[in-house]
Every structure is written in structure tokens, then in C-alpha cells.
Amino acid sequence: MFNDVLFSNENVEIILEEDQVYIKVLQKKYELVAFQEILKNFPRIKITQFIALKSAITNAIDQLVNIGEYKPTIELSVSNDHLKAYAIINLSREQFINYDKKELMELIVIACRDQNIIFGIDLQEIMSTMVPLDKFVIAKGSLPLTGEDAIIKLYEIDELKPQVFDDGKVNHYELNLINRVDRGDWVGERIEPTQGIPGKSVYGDLVPALQGKQQKLVYDRKTVMENLNEDETKTILTAKKVGAVVYENGILAICNFLEIDGKVSFETGNIDFDGYVEVKHSVEDNFSVRADNNIQIMGKIGLGGIDTIESREGSIYIRGGIAGKNKAKIICDGDLYTKFAADCTIECNGSVNIGYYAMNTNIKAKEVILESLNSKIIGGNIEATIRVVSGEIGSRADIPTNITVLGFDRVAYKEEYDGINANIENIKAQIVYLNQKLSIYSPTELDAKQRQILSDLEEAYENLNKKLKMLYEKKKKYISYLHCKGDGEIKVNKCLHTNVTLEISKHLHVVSKASNLPQSFYVINNEFKTN
């Protein structure tokens, strides 16, 4: 356009010349407010020279003064990420109503072509959403889809919980303390992260997608090996040797394992092993089995007058029970699980779990738990730090039975428990933070310095996960301790007989009257209580 008069009256003229807007003021004392009212009918006029406009009106300049520019009917803009394009229709509402909508659509298409916007244009949506003077979407790119993150699945070691039940013929007490694997057996896997699907901008350009996050497999390379499958979608972990699957400080490993296919006898001699031991049948009288880690004796008959079964750092499972002939000694740093115990000595730094009865047995442990409602403690001396639980204590024959609970400082244990929880939350937050930092690095595009940073981050991530696993295991024990009543508890689920001595935190109670009701004895605030 050239010297096109956009507006004219006795006060002012607005002139268009090559997309530039000019003003000529014809009358003095013309007000800026009046000019602004005129502009409402000309949304295509964009004032860029406000000072010049004010001067022209104030001084009634009757020559052409450049005050701005004339915008196109359709203006386009694109978001910073190039995934959306917008249009503004520079028409007043009255002009828009009277404007041919097909012509507007043609102008939008031409504007898109001129600005190379070629992808994601939806003409039907444009027709239904376009309005004057407000920005609306005319094209949408496609978002890139991030690849699936790596998924790790490792050999699961079930929580040690013996099954105690009666099928009408025989009592069962089943548990598996050792997770045995053969050479080449599966012990874990990682489904590899997938490549993402690229997106596309409104210009038709590909928008790169992020690969799914990688997760590092943490395992003992001396005893476990990894292999990538043929299509490179899965990394599989297998055992390098026959052994027991363990998690040492949170690291998957295969520990040394000794299997005695028959009995421990003159044929094998006494056993002392730096790993896990499984005896398929039993241990003959006067023989001993010692090991650094877990020991399980799987024979249905159980043990008789053996010498010693000792786990220096682990737990013990004796499937068939113990009839110790006043000679057998069972020692472990962890927990003991057995069907029954009679005429033997048990020393355990963890919990002693007995399926059915303890008779004339001397036991020292953190907890002594007989889960079955029909379980019994008859005779002997039971000493625990936290609690003793049994279906029945004592006997109708008035066999002397002594139960002692040393007691514990509940406040201190609760503080330790709260400290464990706080540490867990702190470490979880650190793990999330490290995960975010690890996601920045792509292992295939790193220089030497970046590779070292990545290695340090991965090591820190592994160490935190180890700590977290250990804290969860510790928390589980404290939950059990804090479930007990008071500062030490003796719980009878079914029947309490006479000639039973109960002692909790040096508070002595001698049972003088039998009871067939569930009862708990405990000490709180240095006072002996029962309910």
C-alpha cells in the first residue's frame, strides 16, 4: 500500500505508507485519549513511536509523523521448544464477524507456508477455535517419548518365616535357610533401557528422545557373571559356582557352600567350614558341625546327643528338632529355627523360634518364640532379653519351669528406631538426588573426566543402596522388639501352670494358681503387671 488513508476527520489523518503508519494532526488542542479511541477500530496498527505520537498531537504537527507499523491480518508465533505454533487475528470483533472465514483460513495457511510451519496443522481445529485478537493454537508438534527405564530383577531371598501346621497325621515345621544354586543358574537380570521415540517440531524437524535410564547391576564379580542376550535387550546374571545366594552388605554374591549328602558321622568327621552348610540327613551323636554362615540340618529325625552345632555369623535351621540327651549344644550369632528342643543348651544372639515345645532346655537369646497355640515350655531355664512367647508354660505334673526376661530400655530402643527411620529417609533422598545426577550422563558420549565422575556417582549410589538394605533389615528387628509390651514381656497364649517362676527385669512372680486364659506379664515404669 502507498499513501493509503486509513482514517480521516477534521482533527487527524492516519496514513499508511509501505507498512508504516503516519499521523497528521489538523487541529490544535486535539487529545491523545481521542486518538486512542480511534485505534480501537484499527487493531492492525502497532504504535512503536509513542514519543513522536505524543509530540505530534501536543504540537499539532500537520506533517506526516511516523508513529508505528501496520501489522498483517494474521500474525504467527512459535513456542521456544518448536512444539506449538500460534496465530493472532488482528481484526476487531466486528471486522472478524464480517470477514470471510475461508479467506482467513487461506491467510493462515499462507502464513504457515511462509514461515515453514508444515507439521501438526489441524484445519478443523483452527476453524473451531480461532478468535480475534487472542492467541490460539494452529499447529502441534509431537512430543518425544522417553525410552523405558532399565528394570532389575534379582534372586529373592524369602523372609524367614517357618510354616507351623498340623495335617491331622504329622506336625510340620518347614523352612529353607539356604538358597542353593548350581553353576550357571539364574540369579538376576536387567531388562535394558529402550531407545526413546523422537518427536517432531511444527517445522517438521525431529526432536531427539531420551533413552530410558540405565540401572547398574551390583554383584560380586568373583562369584557372579553377566551375559547380554542375543538381541541385547537383557543382561542375565548367573552363578559362577555351586553355592548359596547371599546379599553381603547389599551385594549379590554366591557364598561357599558345603552339602553333606548323608549324615555327619565317622565317614565325614566333624565339619568346620567357611561358608554355608547343609546336611541332608542328620548328625550322629558326639559329632559337631561348625560354619561361618547358615547351617541347616534337613533330616526328619532331627538331632540327638550331638556335640555342637555352631554358626559363627549366621542362623541355624534344624528341621526335625533336637532331643539333646543333656549333651547337645546349639550356638548361633543369628536366629535358630527348630521343630522342638529337649534336653539341650541353646545360645543365640538373635531369636529362638521353636515350632512345638521346649522341654528341659536351657536357652539364652534375644527372644524365644513358640508360635503354635499348642506349643509348650516345660521345665528348663529360659532367658531372653526382650520377650518369651508360648502357648503353654509349665505342666500339670508341676515340673519346675523358670522363665526370665532381662528387659530392655524401651525409650532407648524407640530412639534408635526413630534414628533408623530418619536415616532411611535421608538415604532415600540422597538416592533420588544421585539418580537425577546419573540421568545426565550418557555412557557412550563421555570424555575421560566425565567417565570418572560417572564412576564416582555409581559407587556412591551402590554404597547408599547397601546402607538402605541393612537399615531396613535392622528396622524389621526393632519393630519386633517394640511390639512387645512394656520393657520386657512373657506371653502365654493358652495355659499357665503352677510351679512356674516368671522374672522380668528382676521382678519375680511365682505362679501359685493355674490359668487357662491368655495372659501377658510385663514390666512398665519398674512395675510388674499382668493382663
Q: What percent of the chain has pLDDT over 90?
A: 77
Least confident of 160-174, 240-254, 283-297, 449-463: 160-174
Taking residues 478-494, report their average pLDDT.
Answer: 93
- Specify if 290 maps to a domain: no
Q: Let me know: does 2 contact 11? Beta carbons within 8 Å.
A: no
Q: Are residues 180 and 205 in the same domain?
A: yes
Three-class secondary structure of residue 474 per DSSP: helix
Supply the pLDDT for residue 492: 96
- Specify if 309 maps to a domain: no
Supply the pLDDT for residue 464: 87
Mean pLDDT (the chain, rounded) = 91
DSSP structure class, residue 142: B
Q: Are residues 162 and 230 in the same domain?
A: yes
**Confidence class of residue 371 from pLDDT cuts 50, 70 and 90?**
confident
Supply the pLDDT for residue 480: 86
Supply the pLDDT for residue 250: 75
- Specify if 108 maps to a domain: yes
Q: Are residues 107 and 163 in the same domain?
A: no
Least confident of 71-85, 146-160, 330-344: 146-160
Position 330 pLDDT exceeds 80: yes
- Specify if 43 maps to a domain: yes
Please tell me the number of Cα atoms within 13 Å of 359 on its side-chain side.
12
Supply the pLDDT for residue 172: 53
Q: Are residues 179 and 107 in the same domain?
A: no
The parent domain of residue 155 ranges over 151-253
* Last residue of one domain, picked from the residues 140, 165, 191: 140
**Residue 336 burial by CB count (10 A; 0-12/13-18/19+): exposed, middle or buried?**
buried
Q: What is the DSSP code string of 364-405? A: EEEEEEE-STT-EEESSEEEEEEEEEEEEES-TT---EEEEE
Q: Are residues 91 and 60 in the same domain?
A: no
C-alpha cell at 420: 533408623
- Measured CA to CA, the distance from residue 506 to residue 382 in angstroms comes to 14
User: How many other CB atoms are there within 10 angstroms of residue 186's CB atom?
Assistant: 12
* Last residue of one domain, picked from the residues 54, 70, 86: 70
| Residue pointed to by grid coordinates 494474521 | 74
- Helices and strands (H and E) in the chain: how many: 7, 40
Dihedral angle computed from the Cα positions of residues 101, 107, 111 and 114, in that order, rounded to the nearest 10 degrees: 150
Q: What pTM value is reported for the model? A: 0.70
Q: Are residues 65 and 81 in the same domain?
A: no
- Specify if 315 maps to a domain: no
SS (H, E, C) 7-24: EECCCEEEEEECCEEEEE
Q: Let me know: does 494 contact 374? Beta carbons within 8 Å.
A: yes
- Specify if 161 maps to a domain: yes
User: How many other CB atoms are there within 10 angstroms of residue 313's CB atom?
Assistant: 11
Q: Let me know: does 78 contact 129? Beta carbons within 8 Å.
A: no
**Confidence class of residue 500 from pLDDT cuts 50, 70 and 90?**
very high
- Specify if 464 maps to a domain: yes
Q: Are residues 162 and 99 in the same domain?
A: no
Supply the pLDDT for residue 475: 92
Q: Among candidates 281, 358, 345, which has minimal Cα distance to 309? A: 345
- Measured CA to CA, the distance from residue 8 to residue 119 in angstroms comes to 43
**Confidence class of residue 527 from pLDDT cuts 50, 70 and 90?**
very high
- Per-residue pLDDT tens over the stretch 282-314: 999 999 999 999 999 999 889 999 999 999 999
The structural domain count of the chain equals 4
- Measured CA to CA, the distance from residue 490 to residue 200 in angstroms comes to 70
Position 169 pLDDT exceeds 70: no
Q: Are residues 61 and 84 in the same domain?
A: no
C-alpha cell at 155: 534372586
Please tell me the number of Cα atoms within 13 Å of 495 on its side-chain side.
14
- Specify if 521 maps to a domain: no
Between these two residues, 224 and 477, which has the higher pLDDT value? 224
Q: Are residues 112 and 48 in the same domain?
A: no
Supply the pLDDT for residue 473: 84
Q: Among candidates 528, 441, 442, 433, which has minimal Cα distance to 488? A: 528
Between these two residues, 204 and 169, which has the higher pLDDT value? 204
C-alpha cell at 317: 535351621
C-alpha cell at 229: 542376550
Q: Are residues 214 and 134 in the same domain?
A: no
* Last residue of one domain, picked from the residues 55, 70, 85: 70
Q: Are residues 60 and 87 in the same domain?
A: no
Q: What percent of the chain has pLDDT over 70?
A: 96
Q: Among candidates 316, 186, 312, which has minimal Cα distance to 252? A: 186
Element (H, E) at 469: helix 448-482
User: How many other CB atoms are there within 10 angstroms of residue 284's CB atom?
Assistant: 17
Taking residues 326-352, report their average pLDDT.
Answer: 96
**Confidence class of residue 168 from pLDDT cuts 50, 70 and 90?**
very low
Taking residues 454-459, report their average pLDDT.
Answer: 83
Supply the pLDDT for residue 171: 54
**Confidence class of residue 249 from pLDDT cuts 50, 70 and 90?**
confident
Least confident of 27-36, 107-116, 318-327, 399-408: 27-36
Supply the pLDDT for residue 444: 59
Q: Are residues 85 and 35 in the same domain?
A: no
- Per-residue pLDDT tens over the stretch 214-241: 888 888 999 999 999 988 899 999 999 9
- Measured CA to CA, the distance from residue 104 to residue 75 in angstroms comes to 12
Position 321 pLDDT exceeds 80: yes
Supply the pLDDT for residue 1: 41
